[in-house]
Amino acid sequence: MRREPIKVSDIDKVIPISQKIMVYVEDGNFEGTYSSYIYDIDQSGIYIAMPTDENGIKAVVRVGDKLEISFVDNRGYRIGFTSRLIDIIKEGNRVIYKLEKPQMLVKVEMRENFRVPTLIEAKFYLFKKGKIIQASGTILDISAGGVKLSADVELELRDKLLLEFELGNYKLEEVEAEVVRKAITGEKGVNHYGLRFTDLTKEQEDKIIKFCISKQVEFARKMKGIE
């Protein structure tokens, strides 16, 4: 995927106050995609409202955790950067996250692997201990690069899976994926796994990208109500 670096000396000229943003939490029990907006920017950092998903669930993040931020600017380009949470500020009932100011932004193609939250039932198969295991789970978010899967089956890093799931009227079958992350949820018997697609066909990739873009449009409309 093409990423074009953008050097910035004054980031608040690039990211306006109140800019709606998408926030991806990379690790932990709240891994996933959320919406927020730029609350303020000063010399010491960027302040954002506590990220919230489309179901109203707030992302509880710890100081030091890494976040991926992206937004669409007024020219229609998707701009992104990676940062870390450096402080949590409470103003009455409002919680504000303070992030490190990035030294560089990147402009990414709209086909970039941005993730969207979803709830999709999936079947999967894996070869383990000399036999084929069939199981099911729920896809919690998806991109053209992979999915976050919730399942009660114990998987290990580098396990290879074949996935089956539906996006609208389109059924994806024999989608090859590999376990690249594992998170313990605290709920007995349920784990979250980060899966990377390893051999998507062009048709499968296009269907997933189309689905993600439609979900982003829907997500952006909901974000308009966040203040």
As for how many domains the chain has, the answer is 2
DSSP line for 43-94: TTEEEEEPPB-TTS-B----TT-EEEEEEE-TTS-EEEEEEEEEEEEEETTE
226 domain-assigned: no
> 56-84, pLDDT tens digit by residue?
888 899 999 989 888 877 766 778 888 99
Please compute Rg for the chain using Cα positions.
18
Residues 83 and 164 in one domain: no
Q: What is the domain extent for residue 21? A: 3-112
pLDDT of 188 above 70: no
Q: Is residue 89 part of a domain?
A: yes
Q: Is 227 inside any structural domain?
A: no
Regarding whether 99 and 188 lie in a shared domain, the answer is no
- Which pLDDT value is given to residue 1? 43
Dihedral sign of CA atoms 161, 196, 136, 175 in order: negative
Q: What is the mean pLDDT of residues 20-29?
A: 81
**Whether pLDDT at 12 is above 70:** no
Instruction: Note if the pTM is more than 0.95.
Output: no
Among residues 64, 80, 112, which one ends one of the domains?
Answer: 112
Mean pLDDT of 154-172: 92
Domain closes at, from 112, 135, 159: 112
Give the domain-ending residue among 112, 145, 161: 112
**Lookup: tokens for 57:** 């669930």
Mean of all residue pLDDT scores within the chain:
83
Residues 133 and 84 in one domain: no
Place of tokens 């996933």: 32
pLDDT beyond 50 at 122: yes
